[in-house]
Amino acid sequence: MPTNTAYAPVPAPDPAPVHPDQLDIAGELLTLLRDARTEPRPDPQLEALTLAVAADLPVLLWGEPGIGKTAALTQLAASLDLPLTTVIASVHEPSDFSGLPVVGDDPAEQGIPMAPPDWAVRLVRAGRGLLFLDELSTATPAVQAALLRLVLERRVGALRLPAGVRIVAAANPRASAADGWELSPPLANRFVHLRWTHDHDVVVRGLGGTWPRATLPRLDPAKLSEAVDFARRAVCGLLAARPALVHRLPSGETQRGGAWPSPRSWEMTLHLVAFATAAGSARDVLSLLVRGTVGDGPGLELLAALDRMDLPDPETLLADPDQADLPERGDLRQAALDGVVAAVRARPAKNRWDAAWALLVRAMETGAPDLVVVPATELAALREEDWDVPASIERLAGAVSLSRRADRAAARVAVAEEAAR
């Protein structure tokens, strides 16, 4: 009988042979692509992160997906020579952080110990490391509750993480997180919150093979005691004057999942101010840290208080006005001049009044002339009948007159615009 060839299987063609060395060559190419250098480069958010890590405070990086939060943590661990342990919070159960109960030989006598997970055991054996809690905003409320002890007390089950372990977490805003949750207020208040954004130049140079180098801040041993005293005076001085800032739980759910003031977060802020002072960190770095710990409003108030603490003593300025060292920033210079006028008002005397005029002349010669207008007007009002007008006033007359004419012109323009409406 003839065979029906229509249903006969057609043999598949032999696959093209793969050269056994091609995967090795591909591995070499991948190695070259992963090869990167680092360079010292000013980066306020990276410096803020390393400062918080040095202060042994838990940090939470907030940012949109794909902007390099995980890459930054990987590079930070490599730069600090710390083994990196990554734990995806959202794929774990609460027991993975609080510990699994293990029944022993005699639970009635010895109790039931809570066994820690393997990653915690590895960290304890290493004695140091960087624990990276990723995708924190996708963790369920039950998991967030289990993380409270880990973040604050460094305990996982019956195990306590060694002092050499630092904790950093990352989260996406709820709107861009996969099945995201708002962070619970108790957990949020245990972190320093840093808004992580990408820098165009950093990304371009990084893709070209050169990333910023993450280094721990260099603390000046001679400034440690002074830094602690400065931080305590700043924080305690602000809270003494503004007691409502000691604890302020936001009303909105989203705000409660961020930075807000409490005794715990103010203690963290005090530590950060001390570390930033001892390291000589720039103001923008300190601003990121302070606002990321107690929130924007209280943080800005503390920064303003720190600025006032840095102002020169009015009596020192009056003692030698010709050699006075005035602040460069306009707002601080204005505050210093206002302080000098207030000092003369508190203890009026002819020599102090003359010294204040000499100081205003120096301020006009070394900075913006318009800053002396208000102090000059207030100082002129303090003149007593038997005080001769100092010659230095003539040098200020032009700047004061010009400023007043500018103010009057601006007022006329505003009136004309209002009438035209």
pLDDT one-digit tens code per residue, 189-225: 999 999 988 888 888 888 888 888 878 889 999 999 9
Cα 228 to Cα 164: distance, rounded to the nearest angstrom: 22
SS3 100: strand
Per-residue pLDDT of the chain (421 residues; tens, 9 = 90+): 555 555 556 666 666 655 558 888 898 999 999 888 888 888 899 999 999 999 999 999 998 888 878 888 888 888 888 899 999 988 888 888 877 777 666 666 666 777 788 889 999 999 999 999 988 888 888 889 889 989 988 988 878 999 999 999 998 887 665 566 788 999 999 999 999 888 888 888 888 888 888 788 899 999 999 999 999 999 998 998 888 999 999 988 888 999 999 999 999 999 999 999 999 999 999 999 999 999 999 999 999 888 888 788 888 899 988 888 888 888 788 888 888 898 899 999 999 988 998 898 888 888 888 888 888 888 888 888 888 877 777 667 665 554 444 445 445 545 555 666 6
> How many whole angstroms separate alpha carbon 166 and alpha carbon 150?
11
β-pairing, 164-171 with 159-160?
A: unpaired
Dihedral of CA atoms 383, 388, 394, 397 in degrees, nearest 10, equals 20
CATH topology of domain 40-99+114-212: Rossmann fold (3.40.50)
Domain chopping of the chain, boundaries: 40-99+114-212, 221-309, 326-420
Phi, psi of 128 (to 5 degrees): -160, 165
Q: How far, in Å, CA of 133 to CA of 125, rounded?
A: 19
The 10s digit of each residue's pLDDT in 239-290 is 988 889 999 999 888 889 999 999 999 999 999 999 999 999 999 999 999 9
Cα(392)–Cα(376) distance, integer angstroms: 11
CB 404 within 8 A of CB 376: no
